[in-house]
Amino acid sequence: MRVVNHPFLPAIDEPDITIYVDGKPIPAKSGEPIAAALLAAGIRVCRKTAKKGRPRGIFCGIGRCTDCVMTVDGVPNVRTCVTPVKPNMMVETQNGLGSWVDAK
C-alpha cells in the first residue's frame, strides 16, 4: 500500500510504468526500487530458500542481507531493495539460488 496521506511529507507521484511479477502486471514508479513496487502491490515473498523452500522477503532494505533477491529479466540474485524498476521489467519469485534464463 502506498503512503498517500502524510502529515507533512509532500504528495507522491502516481505510478507511471508497469512491471511484471511472475507474469502479473503491477504498477510501479520510475526510480523506485523493485521491492517498493512489490510492497505497494502487497507482495512480500521474494524467494524460496534452496534447501527447505522457505519464504523470504525484504529484511534490511539497504542491499546487505540479500534476503530480497529475485530473478529479474532472467538474471538471478538481483537485490530488489536497491535495484530500480524499469518499464516492462520481468520479475520472478526465485527458487533457491535461481538460474540464468533467457537473460536479456
Question: Which is nearer to another protein, 29 or 90 (by Cβ)?
Answer: 29
Question: Which is nearer to another protein, 9 or 102 (by Cβ)?
Answer: 9
- Binding-site ranges for another protein (CB under 8 A): 1-3, 5-9, 12, 32-33, 35-37, 39-40, 44-46, 54-64, 67, 81-82, 84
In the complex, what is the shortest distance from the CB of residue 64 to another protein, in angstroms, rounded to a whole number? Answer: 5
* Cα 60 from Cα 18, distance rounded (Å): 25
Question: Grid coordinates representing 46?
Answer: 521474494
* Cα 84 from Cα 59, distance rounded (Å): 17
Whether the Cβ atoms of residue 35 and residue 29 lie closer than 8 Å to each other = no
